[in-house]
Amino acid sequence: MANLMLIGGERVASVTDEMFDVQDPATEEVIGQAPMGNEEDARRAVAAATNAFREWRKATAHDRTHLLHEIAHKIRARTEELATLMTREGGKPLVENRDELGWCADCFDYYAELQRNTRGRVIPSVESSQLAMVLKEPYGVVAVIVPWNYPILLMTWKVAPALAAGNTVVIKPSEMTPLATLLFAEIFDHLPPGVVNIVTGYGATVGRELVISPHTQLIAFTGSFNTGREIARLAAERVKKTHLELGGKDAFIVAEDADLDVAVPGVAWAALLNAGQVCTSTERVYVQEAIAKRFTEQLIDFVRTLRLGSGLDPQTDIGPLIGDRYRQKVENHVEDARQRGANILIGGQRPPQHTRGFFYEPTVLTGVDHGHRIMREETFGPIIPIMTYRDFDQAIALANDCDYGLGANLYTNDPRKVKQYYEEVKAGTCWVNDPLTDNDAGPFGGMKFSGGARELGEEGLEAFLETKHVHWDFMQQKKSWWFPYGDNESESG
């Protein structure tokens, strides 16, 4: 059952009965198969979601609260089973996937309660016989297109508020990590049929059909800038709303007053979590020149202690990259930097002890600049490139010299620097002395090429609600309009 799609409350194969292989990135072994969905499967799922929306939108806030809390309860009960499968198909260490599922459960609990209280307002009327209301109502069918790096969490950040708002959803997981999502479908089995649907397959077929379908009203996507731009183009042709989070090239500023015993492991965590495959991974580090030598030496010593291996091994700190083409991109960025004069202080190669799997050593570079690809393009790998700066104004300018603006980090004990940083850095999330932490009540999203969507918080729920103004004259009074109006037939025409 777990390797079948979910459409209209039924576990089904693709209409073609075709399947595709799913690989363990730590061993390169095939660990399972998923249905090769196509456009017809996507249309079936959208039709099921459309039918289910007619009743789901009428569910009371009380009922939705209990149904969403039940999802959270089921996630906690099945964490180990789900986390193990997530590690096998995605490569992240098991402890990280346990954390991911805990965050998912918390998120469903959060929106279960928040949706009780978010439903518009009554506004002053211009006449005593009128009632004017601003209502918040669901869009309808939401297409949820999810990446591979946090397949359940980034699905949850969309699905939880979408369901809380009264929408139905069709989910397309990444073809790299569909198995855990198909297993997760069992978590939704207490919901009315068709409220949640899952179709596996490739973006060029299933994903595109969900975007262009006349019956999907909103497209929620996390992924690459290029794919997001194509989704935006297709949606714009249909005047369809999009909700896009398109990655980042996050900067990390280390001020001269920073406690390096805290800042060094903080930078390593921000850059190397999930082998650097996080939308908000630190991909550019700017260190004040007076402390740069000491910072770099401590960072190298720290990185040297980190262990690569299978995510199922409890001794593993860093797992593999998701696939070979992603590793090749990392290698290309490092080689470009090396040829342009960068220094590889540690790492910079495939680990010789791992002859199987898509591993790459955690790598520290100096001598980089903004002419290098590794400082301009999203790398998505375990790389820490370091530049120095003279004064804090220059650090801010370097942080902003980027097309992306998802997140940014700062280590300092100077409140004046903190204020200048969060006022001037163009990033959707600004972390100070505590990198990459999330808060269900705090909105997450980017600026510039990172997209304008916001997930989590009240903004995350608002994203799945549209606004309607209701103007009601309950006295049904006759009025003199600008055209003839009255009892005289000749006057009223």
Each residue's pLDDT tens digit, 293-322: 999 999 999 999 999 999 999 999 999 999
Each residue's pLDDT tens digit, 156-183: 999 999 999 999 999 999 999 999 999 9
Alpha helix (H) residue ranges in 93-152: 94-114
Closest to 142 measured CA to CA, from 468, 461, 474, 489? 461
Q: Residue 155's domain spans which residues?
A: 5-246+463-471
CA distances from 13 to 6, 136, 283, 339 (A): 9, 37, 40, 49
Assess if residue 405 is contained within a domain. Answer: yes
Query: Distance between CA 276 and CA 385 in Å, rounded?
Result: 12
Assess if residue 482 is contained within a domain. Answer: no
What's the CATH number where 145 sits? 3.40.605.10
E-strand spans in 121-184? 121-123, 130-138, 141-145, 168-172
Q: How many CB atoms lie within 10 A of CB 482?
A: 5
Cβ–Cβ < 8 Å for 112, 64: yes
Indicate if the pLDDT at residue 347 is higher than 80.
yes
Check whether residue 335 and residue 372 sit in a common domain: yes
**Residues marked as catalytic:** 245, 279
Q: How many domains does the chain have?
A: 2
Check whether residue 145 and residue 189 sit in a common domain: yes
Query: Distance between CA 28 and CA 84 in Å, rounded?
Result: 16
Closest to 399 measured CA to CA, from 430, 425, 368? 425
Query: Distance between CA 210 and CA 260 in Å, rounded?
Result: 48
Backbone angles phi, psi at 464, to 5 degrees: -105, 15
Check whether residue 63 and residue 155 sit in a common domain: yes
Each residue's pLDDT tens digit, 180-214: 999 999 999 999 999 999 999 999 999 999 999 99
Q: How many CB atoms lie within 10 A of CB 30?
A: 11
- What is the pTM (predicted TM-score) of this model? 0.96
Check whether residue 242 and residue 254 sit in a common domain: no
Cβ–Cβ < 8 Å for 464, 165: yes
Work out the average pLDDT over 143-148: 98
Assess if residue 398 is contained within a domain. Answer: yes
Indicate if the pLDDT at residue 1 is higher than 70.
no
Structure tokens at 169: 């959803």
Structure tokens at 50: 């459309």
Structure tokens at 448: 């510039």
Cβ–Cβ < 8 Å for 219, 168: no
